[in-house]
Amino acid sequence: MRSISIFGATGSIGESTVDLIRRGGGAEAYRVVALTGARNVARLAEMARELRAEVAVVAHEAELPALRDALAGSGVEAAAGAAAIAEAADRPADWVMSGIVGAAGLVPGMRALRHGRTLALANKESLVTAGPLLMATARVHGATILPVDSEHSAVFQALTGEDAGAVERVIITASGGPFRDWPLEKLAEATVAEAKAHPNWSMGSRISIDSASMFNKALELIETREFFGFPPEMIEVLVHPQSIVHALVGFRDGGVMAHLGPADMRHAIGFALHWPERGHVPVERLDLARLGSLTFAAPDAARFPALRLAREVMEMRGLSGAAFNAAKEIALDHFMEGEIGFLDMAAVVEETLARLAGEAGLGHSATGLDDVLAMDHLARVRAGEAARKMKEGR
């Protein structure tokens, strides 16, 4: 029986993963080791009971009594805290879903890789923050990372059986989000509710807002660079409002392999779950005749500065990805709390990167996880300062 763990089980990716596990036979077909969550204790306990998990872990220690209560009599162990989440990654499991949001997903993912596991990686922030370390850890320990982000799963699928040396370019698509056609003046006034309303995908609120600002695509550019190793000039973004073509890979003979699928993360999760085989995945089948047309456009760098900032990080590498992601997370927190405007998010990230480049240097490589976590911490402090300054200036 295959054993699995799901980090971030209560989130959007986690729920989709649980749905596939349930449809695949649940506790009768899989040995479920660890399920983790943060605020949604009741849902975590419910899943852990249903799937007969070995252990359920919540991120915050204050939630432990509530989790224990909810699991009373179930035989599922309860644990809490960031260290307990990391320890859950030490428990043997054949397949591990990295579905926590933000840099909090980095340490558990690393721990799973150190044990040589197969890691289904939805948590793009860990590749942005510590790409070279993560990839090296997988190599050294014989672990496998399977991309779950839809664009990266698409590139992975388009590359299967191909010679990576014959690749000329990689194109990841972007829906353009809810603000695709908004003028700059209107973007400055965009609200949290408007930014959360993604036209095609149903996702967690943080990634939905990142899609509206194109910070999600910015993270994905860096993710593409780190995961596949292609140089920045080979990686492009293409706006495609229907979200049907997820990525394209162009080869030196002029041929292009495109990956198409419905806007349902269960395709990419199911692909990773069944890999290297192709298993049945219950997503809606594409009906191109019904869709009629698919459209494409170049992204607008002036309205979406996140893309330009990502290019700088892709060139610089070193610790710049850790700084970029952390600053973005803090800017997003401040926007969600109504303290800064929509466009201020990019301004906070840009200012943080400029300041850290002068004060700490961003180009040097991390020698270990400690360097990455130190930069993550410093960037959060500096981004908080930048955001407060911006709030006062409003």
Q: How far apart are CA 356 and CA 383, in angstroms?
A: 10
Buried b or exposed e, range 253-262, using 16+ CB within 10 angstroms: eeeebbbebb
Decide: 53 and 76 in contact? Cβ < 8 Å.
Answer: yes
Smallest distance from ligand NDP to CB 8, Å: 3
* 179 backbone dihedrals φ, ψ, rounded to 5°: -105, 20
Which CB atom, from 269 or from 375, has the smaller least distance to Mg ion?
269
Residue nearest to ligand NDP (CB): 11
Helix-helix angle 205-213:215-228, to 10 degrees? 90
Smallest distance from ligand NDP to CB 5, Å: 13
Q: How far apart are CA 63 and CA 66, in angstroms?
A: 5
Angle ∠(109,201,330) on CA atoms, nearest 5: 55
282: three-class secondary structure by DSSP: coil
Residue nearest to Mg ion (CB): 149
170: left (phi over 0), alpha (psi -120 to 50) or beta: beta
**Looking at 64-72, 74-82, 144-152, 308-316, which segment touches Mg ion (CB under 5 A)?**
144-152
Smallest distance from ligand NDP to CB 273, Å: 15
Which CB atom, from 64 or from 357, has the smaller least distance to ligand NDP?
64
**223 CB-near residues (< 8 Å, 6+ apart):** 124, 127, 128, 131, 147, 149, 152
149 makes contact with Mg ion (CB under 5 A): yes
Which CB atom, from 211 or from 352, has the smaller least distance to ligand NDP?
211
Smallest distance from ligand NDP to CB 124, Å: 5
**Looking at 81-89, 143-151, 199-207, 360-368, which segment touches Mg ion (CB under 5 A)?**
143-151
Smallest distance from ligand NDP to CB 321, Å: 14
First to last CA, the chain: 58
Residue 203 interacting entry, from ligand NDP, Mg ion, none, C-beta within 5 to 8 Å by type: ligand NDP
* Residue reference for tokens 């596949």: 228
Which CB atom, from 131 or from 250, has the smaller least distance to ligand NDP?
131
Which CB atom, from 147 or from 250, has the smaller least distance to ligand NDP?
147
**Which residues contribute to the site for ligand NDP (CB under 6 A)?**
8-14, 37-40, 59, 85, 99-101, 104, 122-125, 149, 201, 203-204, 206-207, 265
**370 alpha carbon, distance to own chain's centre:** 21
**81 alpha carbon, distance to own chain's centre:** 21
Which CB atom, from 214 or from 390, has the smaller least distance to Mg ion?
214
Smallest distance from Mg ion to CB 222, Å: 12
Smallest distance from ligand NDP to CB 36, Å: 6
Count the neighbouring beta carbons within 10 Å of the beta carbon of residue 133: 23
Which CB atom, from 14 or from 250, has the smaller least distance to ligand NDP?
14
Residues forming the site for Mg ion (CB under 5 A):
149-151
